[in-house]
Structure formats: structure tokens, C-alpha cells
Amino acid sequence: KQEVTQIPAALSVPEGENLVLNCSFTDSAIYNLQWFRQDPGKGLTSLLLIQSSQREQTSGRLNASLDKSSGRSTLYIAASQPGDSATYLCAVTSWTGTASKLTFGTGTRLQVTL
Amino acid sequence: DGGITQSPKYLFRKEGQNVTLSCEQNLNHDAMYWYRQDPGQGLRLIYYSQIVNDFQKGDIAEGYSVSREKKESFPLTVTSAQKNPTAFYLCASSAVRERRGNTIYFGEGSWLTVV
């Protein structure tokens, strides 16, 4: 059974710092990995999707890497801003035999302070 | 605007009542999903549907029911059999059911509280 872990559970950094969020998964037979952002009381917004054949994806100040063999992904946020404060979740897609299935981590709650 | 609309945003249910959460998408997506989110836990899959008139149980389907009569709509009923229904419910959709998977899009969620 696929399990996804995110460490740390919470993180507080001053504005302007670069930071890394971590995601690990137990079964390396994945098709892709996605990073999401969730604001309090809101739905999830997809940030980046990395296919299993890719090593990284970039969008603006965000860079996500994937090491499928070791079961790890990192989300790098450059020059953090207070508006980046949110919970960040990663999810991996696996094939169940009949359908794709996403397994989510529990998230890292990020606070960027002035 | 294209997207996923969930309603209501907040819902209160009395013990023993069934309630239905609405989910509508205008993204022309084949696949739709219902997730439950509890504090400190990741999202857990309740039901999913790959095509109209077909759906499958997820990891925590007990006490829930769904229907998929139209491509755009995937309502979730929380029945009185669900022992701990207070949670945040998220509906999602994705384009096709390729093995590679596609970006999944979420609605804004519905808060259900049992009173």
C-alpha cells in the first residue's frame, strides 16, 4: 500500500528565505507526483506535476524535483513571500489495475513572516 | 469560467439525517472524485467515477453513496450510516483516465457538521 509522508508538518520562515519542503513515498512504481497548495478552508490548487520520466519541473519561484528510485520529492520555494503562507501537499499517482489513484501526504503548513 | 462548483459551502446535519453534497464541473472531464479531509490527515478517497453511470468505491466508502447520471455532475450523499461525518469534503475532476494521470482540479470544498 502506497504511503506518502511530508516532513516537516509545519515550518515558519522569515520573508525572503529560500526553503525546501520534503515528500517521500514508499512504492516507487508511480506515474507522476503532484504538488498542491491549500489555503485555509479552501480547495487544493495544483502547482506542479512531474511525470515519472522527469527529474524536475519549474514554475516561477517554484521548483519541484523527483527521485523515483529513492522515493523522494522536494519542492523548492525561492525568495519566500508572506503570500506563500499555506499548506503544501504532495500526491503520487499509481495505477490500481482499473484506474489511476492519488495518494496524498498530510501536508506541510508554511508560514512566511514579515 | 471553467471549474468545479461545490455546494453548499457549509452544511449542518442532525443525527440520523442523510445529506447530499453537490459537485458540478464544466471542464468536460471524464473522471470525478470525492475526498474527505480531516485535521492532521491527508485526503482520503471516498468514491470515484471514470465515466457516466459507473463509479467505484475508494478507501472509505462506507456510509456514503454517489451517482453519475451526467458527465458534469457527481453528487455525494452522506447517509446516517456514516458514523463520523463531520469533515471537509472535496470534489475533484481530471481529464482522462490515462495511466500516467493528469492534473487534478479541485472544488472549493464543503464543510459538513453534525449537530
What's the CA gap between A57 and A34, in Å, rounded? 10
pLDDT, residue A94, reads 84
The predicted-structure confidence for B16-38, as pLDDT tens digits, reads as follows: 899 999 999 999 998 999 999 99
Interior angle at CA B47, CA B45 and CA B50, nearest 5 = 115
The predicted-structure confidence for B94-114, as pLDDT tens digits, reads as follows: 886 555 567 889 999 999 998
The predicted-structure confidence for A45-67, as pLDDT tens digits, reads as follows: 999 999 999 999 999 999 999 99
The three-class DSSP label of residue A92 is strand
Residues of A in contact with B31 (CB under 8 A): 99-100
Interior angle at CA A72, CA A71 and CA A75, nearest 5 = 155
Q: What is the mean pLDDT of residues B42-51?
A: 91
Cell representation of residue A36: 498542491
Q: How many CB atoms lie within 10 A of CB B45?
A: 20
What band does B15 get if pLDDT is binned at 50, 70 and 90? confident
Q: Is the peptide bond before B8 cis (omega within 30 degrees of 0)?
A: yes
The shortest C-alpha distance from B41 to chain A (Å) reads 5
What band does A20 get if pLDDT is binned at 50, 70 and 90? very high
Q: Determine which of A23, A25, A35, A44 to mutate to test the interface with B (most B C-beta atoms within 10 Å).
A: A44
Q: What is the mean pLDDT of residues B69-85?
A: 93
* A34 Cβ contact list (under 8 Å, min separation 6): A46, A47, A48, A49, A50, A90, A91, A92, A93, A102, B103, B104
Task: Spell out where B38-96 has E strands.
Answer: 44-51, 54-57, 64-66, 76-78, 87-94
| Helix or strand holding residue A68 (H, E) | none
Find the largest Cα–Cα distance for chain A.
48
